[in-house]
Amino acid sequence: MQIILNKFGTTLISRQAGKEAYAAFTQNLKSLGGTEPVEVDFEGVVTFSPSWGDEFLGALADNYGERLTLVHVGSNPSVLLTIKILEETKKSKFRVLL
């Protein structure tokens, strides 16, 4: 399953918005196959913050850790910094494709 982040907006900042985004997407995740990979696509994201990321990516990592890959991460400084911060707080690395 591919999750296109820019469908949630291009400025992904508040904890509350991240929580709501994950809750809204839960329905889609129900159709996920048992071993199906989960790809989170960062194409087009302008600002990505640790609070939003914690609520959305953190929840995905908790539930689908081994199957999760971040794609089109690119060179956006807020995306790169947020991924680094989330890895520090989770004490584990994401699988990342630039």
DSSP assignment letter at 8: G
Whole-number Å distance between alpha carbons of 44 and 62: 25
Contact 69, 96 (CB under 8 A): yes
Contact 50, 18 (CB under 8 A): no
Q: Which stretch binds other proteins (CB under 8 A): 22-30, 32-40, 49-57, 65-73?
A: 49-57
Q: Does residue 47 interact with other proteins by CB under 8 A?
A: yes
Q: Does residue 63 interact with other proteins by CB under 8 A?
A: no
> Is 39 or 87 the residue whose CB approaches other proteins more closely?
87
Contact residues for other proteins, defined by CB under 8 A: 11, 13-17, 46-51, 54, 58, 76-79, 81-82, 84-85, 88-89
